[in-house]
Amino acid sequence: MTQPLRIAIAGLGTVGAGTLKLLQANGAAIAARCGRSLKVCAVAARERSKDRGVDLGGVAWFDDPVAMAARADVDVVVELIGGAEGVARKTVEAALARKVHVVTANKALLAHHGVDLAKVAEAAGLTLGYEAAVAGGIPIIKALREGLAGNTIRRITGILNGTCNYILSTMRATGRDFADVLKEAQDLGYAEVDPAFDIDGTDAAHKLAILTSVAFGTQVDIKSVHIEGIRHISSLDIQYAEEFGFRIKLLGLAERDEKSGGIVQRVYPCLIKPDAPLAGAEGVVNAIVAEGDFVGKSVYEGRGAGAGPTASAVVADLMDIAAGRRVPTFGIPATELKALATVPVDQHVGEYYVRLRVVDRPGVFADIAGAFRDEGVSMESVLQRGRSEKSNVNVVIITHETQESNLLRALKRLQANAALLEPPHMMRIEDLA
């Protein structure tokens, strides 16, 4: 009889407990599908007495996850602690040093150290599984690394952070302001007490850097991701975008630049058409579009976080290990991953949304038009809205296609104009049709 796959879990929070529940609930079906049973033999967590709603009878307990990885008699360590450094990194390194497989949901660790860890794992013939690190219950790593492996990927576009998607979706549906909806997201448990990791785009950037490596065969390079968050998005921007026929989404985008051959990686809020594949993804869901030369567009959507979806992804990696299925960590051997040739975001060419809060007086629009004209930026559509008792108005502009550096120079000119009452608000318009 085939021996069970022996598992140690570091971290018994929401995902760790969810993984145990899934294994206990569906153990028989899992064993039938991968040819052997999956058995949790050891766990490491801080509070031993906490009721997690799972049976820990017969499971060895460790207070120190690094010690567990170094000593527990297991085949695979599941790291669910989080963070790019500290205990999480030491736990993974200890497991690999003992020639033990690793499964992790830690996108920060992979974004900063994934290539180095993959080299160690592959040299030892081990699996470093991380389906749970990107988009929770969406099997996007397996899809890119295996299902679409015959394609040359042209572009990856995704809603990679459910918190931001919830905030922007709710703002659009209710007309409420950012701060109000953020507070609601925190009350519902969708956002952390300190939400910066989500709303400033860092979480989405970590995931995008990983996807870029798998899709394009490059080294994971988080430092090359251009990152903007959603703090500056107001209910006015949501409203004006709707008037022009767009929706605002925080997207992660990675694509090859045809001129330079480099890869553009960017995370930012942008305007997309309502009929775009990602436009209908609302609430806390994630959604990803992969574009390949033979398959065309392939769309993936599902819950991006939480106990169930993330545990599902963890167990999928464990089942591959149990069945002996192994592929290179990022699709090709880590030693063959190419250094990422980056493309500055100011070389981006496209249409743009610009909102300017100005004093409502003669000559101001002529100044705006002159700054745009002098930098070679053509205006496609203009709205003027919101005159107040103080004679302040919003001038909202949709540009024709232009290079971003031209627009940035025009906006810098305008910032010197006394009629401008606050810094310009600019977002890209992405054609995802």
Q: Which residues are catalytic?
A: 207
Single out the residue of 195, 161, 177, 197 nearest to residue 283, CA to CA.
161
Query: Do 152 and 292 contact (CB within 8 A), yes or no?
Result: yes
Distance CA(265)–CA(221), nearest Å, equals: 9
Report long-range pairs for 376-381 (Cβ below 8 Å, ≥24 apart): 376/402, 376/406, 377/402, 377/406, 377/407, 377/410, 378/402, 380/351, 381/244
E strands along 80-196, which residues? 101-104, 128-129, 153-159
| Local structure of residue 285 (DSSP, 8 states) | E
Distance CA(183)–CA(377), nearest Å, equals: 38
Sheet containing 76-79: order of strands:
60-62, 38-44, 5-10, 76-79, 101-104, 128-129
The torsion of the CA quartet 159, 162, 164, 170, rounded to 10 degrees, works out to 110
Query: Do 78 and 9 contact (CB within 8 A), yes or no?
Result: yes
Which secondary-structure segment (H or E) carries 359?
strand 349-359
Pull the structure tokens for residue 345: 């975001």
Query: Do 249 and 285 contact (CB within 8 A), yes or no?
Result: no
